[in-house]
Structure 1
């Protein structure tokens, strides 16, 4: 099996939308279609801080990572926030989540970004088993207000 991690391309849209819908289902949420459209557009806009990497297994797109780089007040270089990471349920167990994370670590080092960070649900045990191999969770609690 051949695993490839690469930048998302405009022709990936249908595959990404299939995976995005499954990702939203996993988190038992829905989004306005305009938000999904905007996310896709931003990931391909060179002026946007959002970028997307995709995972292929034997040439088929089966996962993605959506990230945002931003300035911070506690570091002098950019931070990289991994906002979304998803691997198709049928493709799990082949190291694709690890490959996406390893790719992001390499991008951070290559670009001189200060940190890579992300969140996941406390009950997402499968993902946390992988994430704990990279870094232990800290004692921060997230607060979020929507408007």
Structure 2
């Protein structure tokens, strides 16, 4: 999709970002308190925060989002980048937008001096995994979580 522009979020993008964010949360069958989403948005706009967001635009329509966090690692001297959230509107999936968003994050991480970029998806997200398997290696690790 050569007519897609990837650019960082701006304060004027809040409503379109929120629509995509809610669609992403719905895709993963989850909900967050409004305060959590509001705080995430504030962090994206704060240059002192290590978290960032970008939107994929086709014309004046936002069709995808990417959100990442730079973090320290005990295994490297430089920091790593966690691509925490990636979402493309269902009607434009498999058209290259997800790849463009990932490539954008890879460029941002490279420019910031990161050692690597890592991300997760659900084991049932086969459509995304076809793309991810082309762009990265599976780590072989299984993630565990304990809610506090």
Match of 1:14 in 2: 15
Answering whether residue 127 of structure 2 is matched by residue 117 of structure 1, we say no
Match of 1:78 in 2: 79
SS at match of 1:133: helix
> Structure 1, residues 88-137: CA drift from partner, whole Å, max 9, x if none?
11222321100001111112222211110000000000000000001221
| CA–CA separation in structure 2 for the residues paired with 1:78 and 1:59 | 34
> Structure 1, residues 41-74: CA drift from partner, whole Å, max 9, x if none?
1111112111101111123211111110011100
CA RMSD, 1 decimal: 1.1
Instruction: After TM superposition, give the deviation of residue 78 of structure 1 in Å.
Output: 1.1
Match of 2:58 in 1: 57
SS at match of 1:131: helix
Gaps (5+ residues) in structure 2? none
| CA–CA separation in structure 2 for the residues paired with 1:136 and 1:115 | 11
Gaps (5+ residues) in structure 1? none
Answering whether residue 33 of structure 2 is matched by residue 5 of structure 1, we say no
Normalised by the length of structure 2, the TM-score is 0.95
| CA–CA separation in structure 2 for the residues paired with 1:55 and 1:25 | 19
Normalised by the length of structure 1, the TM-score is 0.95
How many residues were matched structurally?
A: 147
Match of 2:27 in 1: 26
